[in-house]
Amino acid sequence: MLSDETGKPLASWSGRDRIGDRILDSFTVILKTGGCAWSRCRMCSYRHERFTGLSAQDLSSRLIEQLSYIRSHADLRKPELVKIYTSGSFFDPGEVPHEVRSAAAALFRGKMIIAETRPEYVDAGVLEDFSSQIDDGTWEQPLSVAIGVETSNDAIREKSIQKGFSWAQFLHAVHEARRAGAGVKGYLLMKPPFLTEKEAVQDMQRSIADLSPQTHLISLNPCSVQRQTELERLWKQGEYRPPYLWSILAVIRASPVHLTVDPLGGGSRRGPHNCGTCDAEILKAIRDYSLSGDRTLIEEISRKECACKPEWDFVMEQEKPFCMPQTR
């Protein structure tokens, strides 16, 4: 369900997720919060979804209302896993006040929880406190933090994404999470602006190799063009194309570890896409692989022929790097 009504979360839905070798029933919620304190990434429109000008107390009340809505409208008996997104950082106290975190812990106690946050808010003490509130002994590791590290390359994270933190800061967050006994899910962003198709594929291959020793889960997010973003402006000027689905297949095939991949907007001009003819079949194979972990689906679909495959080969070989000056 999607909502812009006060008192309801921005969105929530039930689904299934692969965690390690298990497939768990999951519940995902996107809370409307005080908003991302950074709010400057070039491709992000989620940061516009926020309450502005509220006192800390009013912000708390608005968030508690959303949790109450979930309590009365969602069936929380079935899901074993709860994923909490905030379009920012669940562990930023300015965005999600402490008492709201405690209320969320009480609501979701006994579930495995994955909560989204930037690395600067990953503090062992804060995580331990939250983890102890959700832990009823069901899970060996009840809490994981989801961090959009995007790439292991600091130059790409800074120039192409403007993410505002370094790989070293991410590693510090991993250290803090481990001290708290929490897991880390790393999100990678495939093909931010200013990269050629080939550079984007190579960036993901390098990043997966760097990230896999640090995190127990990796989610590969192919970049899509969201509204009211700098990326949208570049795209409208013909200076950006989302990744080919062939590129995503190449990254999955070469990955030594499982990747969770849900190509949002897949098949549309704003999302990762091929020619339009082969997209649906490839997207289905990617999504099925993401849940089942069955690599043969990826191998088989990669052998598929389509008129756009030679085009992709040509782009991979011939596209030249973006030549705008990147500094002033």
Q: Which residues bind ligand SF4 (CB under 6 A)?
A: 36, 38-41, 44, 46-47, 87-88, 118, 148
Give whichever of 95 and 279 is closer to ligand SF4, judged by the CB atom: 95
Tell me: does residue 308 bind Zn ion (CB under 5 A): yes
CA-CA-CA-CA torsion sign (69, 74, 78, 83): negative
With CB cut-offs between 5 and 8 Å by kind, which of Zn ion, ligand SF4, none does residue 308 bind? Zn ion
Q: Total binding residues for Zn ion by CB under 5 A? A: 6
Report the nearest approach of Zn ion to the CB of residue 278 (Å).
Answer: 3
Phi then psi dihedrals of residue 38, to 5 deg: -85, -60
Report the nearest approach of ligand SF4 to the CB of residue 265 (Å).
Answer: 16
With CB cut-offs between 5 and 8 Å by kind, which of ligand SF4, Zn ion, none does residue 67 bind? none
Report the nearest approach of Zn ion to the CB of residue 252 (Å).
Answer: 17
Residue pair 79/17 in contact (Cβ under 8 Å)? The answer is no
Tokens matching residue 81: 């896993």
Tell me: does residue 152 bind Zn ion (CB under 5 A): no
Give whichever of 41 and 308 is closer to ligand SF4, judged by the CB atom: 41
Strand arrangement of the beta sheet that strand 143-150 belongs to: 11-19, 22-30, 81-85, 112-116, 143-150, 183-190, 217-222, 260-261
- Identity (one letter) of the amino acid at 215? T
H/E run at residue 174: helix 167-179
User: How many other C-beta atoms can be found within 10 angstroms of the C-beta atom of residue 263?
Assistant: 25
Tell me: does residue 275 bind Zn ion (CB under 5 A): yes
Tokens matching residue 15: 């689904």
Give whichever of 163 and 273 is closer to Zn ion, judged by the CB atom: 273
- Identity (one letter) of the amino acid at 239? E
Which part of the chain contacts Zn ion (CB under 5 A), choosing from 56-64, 188-196, 301-309, 318-326? 301-309
With CB cut-offs between 5 and 8 Å by kind, which of Zn ion, ligand SF4, none does residue 306 bind? Zn ion
Report the nearest approach of Zn ion to the CB of residue 251 (Å).
Answer: 18
Length of the chain (residues):
328
Per DSSP, what are the bridge partners of residue 114?
83, 144
With CB cut-offs between 5 and 8 Å by kind, which of ligand SF4, Zn ion, none does residue 274 bind? Zn ion
SS3 26: strand
- 223 Cβ partners below 8 Å, 6+ apart? 43, 189, 190, 191, 192, 231, 242, 243, 272
Of the candidate residues 278, 286, 297, 301, the single one contacting Zn ion (CB under 5 A): 278
With CB cut-offs between 5 and 8 Å by kind, which of Zn ion, ligand SF4, none does residue 271 bind? none
Footprint of Zn ion (CB under 5 A) = 274-275, 277-278, 306, 308
